[in-house]
Amino acid sequence: MAKQNVNKKQNIAKQKAKQHTNQIKQQLKEEVATGLVDGVFVFTEALSVGDFATKIGKNAADILKFFFSQGTIMNQNMILSEEQMGELAIEFGFDFKKEEVLTKENILDQLTQVEDKPEDLKERPPIVTIMGHVDHGKTTLLDSMRNADVAAGEAGGITQAIGAYQVTHSSGKKITFIDTPGHEAFTEMRSRGANATDIVILIVAADDGVMPQTEEAIDHAKMAGVPIVVFVNKIDKPGADPEKVKSELMRYNLVAEEFGGDIPFIEGSAKQKIGLDKLQETLLLIAEINEYKANPNKFASGVVLEAHLDKAKGPVASVLIQQGTLEIKDTVIAGGTFGSIKNMENEHNKKVLKAEPSKPVVIYGLNEVPNAGDKILVMNDEKMARQIAEAQAEKQKQAERQSKQIFSLDSIKKYIDEGELKNINIIVKADTQGSVEALKGSLSKIDIAGVKLSIIRASVGAITNSDITLAGAGSAIVYGFNVRPDASVRKKAEEDGVEIRLHNIIYKVIEELEAAAKGMLDPEVVEVILGQAEIRNLFRHTAIGVIGGFHVTDGLIPRNAKIRVLRDGVVVYTGEISSLKHLKDDIKEAKIDSEGGLTIKNFNDIKEGDIIEAYKEETKK
Ligand code: GDP
């Protein structure tokens, strides 16, 4: 009897999935006319500047000029958003209308936003992201919460990091925590339309107060427009001053309830597990007020949190279900990939057969590795899933090509000549607050051919992925002053087409920008980074001094190259290697993944964790 019921249920689910797929098949259009119809500009999806111009019978230059006049730099190939198309229609005197049709390109966006009938909606756990300055305790808080999970004991199994996990509060209610630390992941996901967070916990260490990344976190959370809960951490430490944190945060309009504001402040200690219950209760209260809901009884959709290729198991993706219920054997599209789900696991390494809204799961069976932030959607028709995935992959490739090389120092003059470049966006990262202020001061006085410099971020510390993400989004140039990007940041900058300029003398920065505006950049002495090595241990030798035991993490380290010593991305010394050895032998160079010992000329202050960066200088026209 029980078995029959199960079979019956499965059949109903299957039928539903089939219906959904058939409906989509009927709705899906091969091609849709976008263009002028009786003086109304009808569009079905975003177009490039060039294509838009053709459709309305204008020159691309007219459109670029319009954007220049608004301070936005565009080029012919850039894709216009719906909003921008609307603005243009008004500018050129047309009405405009968006035609809601489903295409292989827009299907993931459209179908993940379908509105459900209120009666179909059910309560779902809130999805929470923790943000804050480095070392303020994000990881510890996540771990403590995971360990305090009342359900974890029963579930057994080791917890695996799958990008998110769910804990059950003692009241029986669940909370989902996103476990991808880093503000950039948060913003990148949002910039791709995948809003995977309901509430942000802003964590601030009570012994340290508001720091640069705290500010950054506030910006990100405010931009997302989600409720903020402040967790004042480390109150167990001597020197902890929670009141100071409260008054500091007032400057950012985060006002505690006791001062008449509406931001919950919870004081506690992630390490000593103080205040965790109150924190969870607060999150659940916010969830109750905001009534986070989703329809679990429909085809599933969600977002990819993390993905990688496993040698034995093939592509593995952690996904967060946002709507519907994902079931094993469902065929899904995940960004530009697709596949039938062979196996599904939860954060406790346990096999699960289905996943409901707000549930994170690991899925196996995709044909390739999707990107974090990709949307996932059930499409139980393999042929169609494949076609849609291919269309999505093509769309992603196009977007990638178009986002590259939006803006660089070389091109400033061109932009000034071509149109009305009003604004050059700059991000400043420096080793000390003093340098940040000095640079801000000097840059704000610069006037190059009537162009204003806007500093969109200025802070102390290494150049990070988040700086590159912001620069990419704002067409900005990143200036590093006595700080360096590491290899992964440099790679991201290359991929995103973001220019990084590194200096250590302020007037050089100014000179360079003025020269760029006149199109008179000097033949540039560029640095070529040869490699990086990490200092993993230290040996003290009475005659030689401090020897750094290194591991080459990138490229190679030649014995006679120039080097700099980086500590947390800040240059602490620039000089030369004095000896480079593998075991007892002197070597000419150390290759990637090799190990050895080195000493630095006139510098004995090497520390564990330091990065030794080898470089050479070349003149480039
Ligand atoms: P994250 O960089 O924000 O992820 O910070 P971590 O969670 O790695 O914490 C940084 C350091 O602060 C670690 O050494 C933690 O053990 C310590 N820490 C975190 N929370 C507390 C706390 O509540 N009290 C104390 N005394 N130390 C803490």
Spatial distance between the Cα atoms of 600 and 533, rounded to a whole number of angstroms: 13
Spatial distance between the Cα atoms of 64 and 53, rounded to a whole number of angstroms: 10
Q: Which atom of ligand 1 is nearest to the CA of 132?
A: 3
Give Cα separations from 360 to 164, 183, 326 (angstroms).
6, 20, 11
CA 429–ligand 1 middle distance (angstroms): 25
Residue to substitute in 129, 130, 140, 236 for testing ligand 1 pocket (most ligand atoms within 8 angstroms of CB):
140
> Which structure tokens are listed for 504?
């250590």
The DSSP-derived string for 82-144 is HHHHHHHHHHTT-EEEE---B-TTTHHHHHTTPPPPGGG-EE---EEEEEESTTSSHHHHHHH
Q: Do the beta carbons of residue 67 and residue 48 sit within 8 Å?
A: no
Spatial distance between the Cα atoms of 346 and 344, rounded to a whole number of angstroms: 7
Residue 513 gets the label, from left (phi > 0), alpha (psi -120 to 50) or beta, of: alpha
pLDDT at 569: 82
Q: Do the beta carbons of residue 592 and residue 554 sit within 8 Å?
A: yes
The more confidently predicted of residues 615 and 42 is 615
Q: Which atom of ligand 1 is nearest to the CA of 233?
A: 23
Q: What is the mean pLDDT of residues 339-365?
A: 94
Spatial distance between the Cα atoms of 509 and 482, rounded to a whole number of angstroms: 12
CB atoms within 10 A of CB 71: 13
CB atoms within 10 A of CB 257: 10
Q: Whose CA is nearest to atom 17 of ligand 1?
A: 137
Q: What is the mean pLDDT of residues 142-154?
A: 71
Q: Give per-residue pLDDT as tens, 266-318.
A: 999 999 999 999 999 999 999 999 999 999 988 899 999 888 888 899 999 99
* pLDDT higher than 80, residue 527: no
The DSSP-derived string for 255-303 is -BGGGT--B-EEE-BTTTTBSHHHHHHHHHHHHHHHT-EE--SS--EEE
Q: Which atom of ligand 1 is nearest to the CA of 270?
A: 23
Pairing type for strands 331-334 and 337-345 reads antiparallel
Spatial distance between the Cα atoms of 547 and 493, rounded to a whole number of angstroms: 33
CA 271–ligand 1 middle distance (angstroms): 7
For residues 281, 282, 284, 289, the Cα torsion angle rounded to the nearest 10 degrees is 140
The more confidently predicted of residues 404 and 360 is 360
Spatial distance between the Cα atoms of 561 and 563, rounded to a whole number of angstroms: 6
Q: Do the beta carbons of residue 440 and residue 428 sit within 8 Å?
A: yes
Spatial distance between the Cα atoms of 52 and 42, rounded to a whole number of angstroms: 11
Q: Give per-residue pLDDT as tens, 24-80.
A: 777 776 555 667 777 777 776 677 788 888 888 888 888 888 887 777 777 777 778
CA neighbor of 273 nearest in space, from 229, 233, 246: 233
pLDDT at 267: 97
Give Cα separations from 587 to 148, 159, 212, 534, 611 (angstroms).
52, 44, 42, 17, 19
CA 135–ligand 1 middle distance (angstroms): 6
Q: Which atom of ligand 1 is nearest to the CA of 133?
A: 3
CA 137–ligand 1 middle distance (angstroms): 4
CA 462–ligand 1 middle distance (angstroms): 20
The more confidently predicted of residues 601 and 103 is 601
CA 233–ligand 1 middle distance (angstroms): 8
The more confidently predicted of residues 440 and 177 is 177
For residues 352, 356, 359, 362, the Cα torsion angle rounded to the nearest 10 degrees is 40
Categorize the per-residue pLDDT at 562 as very low, low, confident or very high, splitting at 50, 70 and 90.
very high
Categorize the per-residue pLDDT at 90 as very low, low, confident or very high, splitting at 50, 70 and 90.
confident
Amino acid identity, position 7 = N
Question: CA angle 41-46-48, nearest 5°?
Answer: 95
Return the minimum-mean-pLDDT range out of 25-29, 382-386, 548-552: 25-29
Q: What is the mean pLDDT of residues 226-237?
A: 96
CA neighbor of 204 nearest in space, from 164, 244, 167: 244
Spatial distance between the Cα atoms of 153 and 89, rounded to a whole number of angstroms: 59
Spatial distance between the Cα atoms of 550 and 613, rounded to a whole number of angstroms: 12
> Which structure tokens are listed for 176?
């989902």
* pLDDT higher than 80, residue 339: yes
pLDDT at 564: 92
* pLDDT higher than 80, residue 523: no
Place of tokens 């400057």: 251
pTM: 0.61
pLDDT at 155: 47
* pLDDT higher than 80, residue 148: no
CA 543–ligand 1 middle distance (angstroms): 39
* pLDDT higher than 60, residue 151: no
Amino acid identity, position 358 = S
Ligand 1 neighbours (beta carbon < 6 A): 132, 134-140, 233-234, 236-237, 269-272
Spatial distance between the Cα atoms of 617 and 453, rounded to a whole number of angstroms: 29
Q: Give per-residue pLDDT as tens, 367-382.
A: 999 988 889 999 888 9
Categorize the per-residue pLDDT at 620 as very low, low, confident or very high, splitting at 50, 70 and 90.
low
Spatial distance between the Cα atoms of 285 and 271, rounded to a whole number of angstroms: 24
The DSSP-derived string for 174-215 is EEEEE----HHHHHHHHHTT----SEEEEEEETTT-S-HHHH
Q: Whose CA is nearest to atom 9 of ligand 1?
A: 137
Q: Which residues contact 83 (CB under 8 A, 6 or more apart)?
A: none
> Which structure tokens are listed for 590?
């150390």
The more confidently predicted of residues 231 and 406 is 231
CA 205–ligand 1 middle distance (angstroms): 8
CA neighbor of 313 nearest in space, from 342, 352, 284: 342
Q: Whose CA is nearest to atom 10 of ligand 1?
A: 135
Give Cα separations from 36 to 44, 59, 67, 607 (angstroms).
12, 16, 21, 66
Residue to substitute in 131, 133, 135, 183 for testing ligand 1 pocket (most ligand atoms within 8 angstroms of CB):
135
pLDDT at 413: 64
Pairing type for strands 545-555 and 557-558 reads unpaired
Place of tokens 């808080």: 141
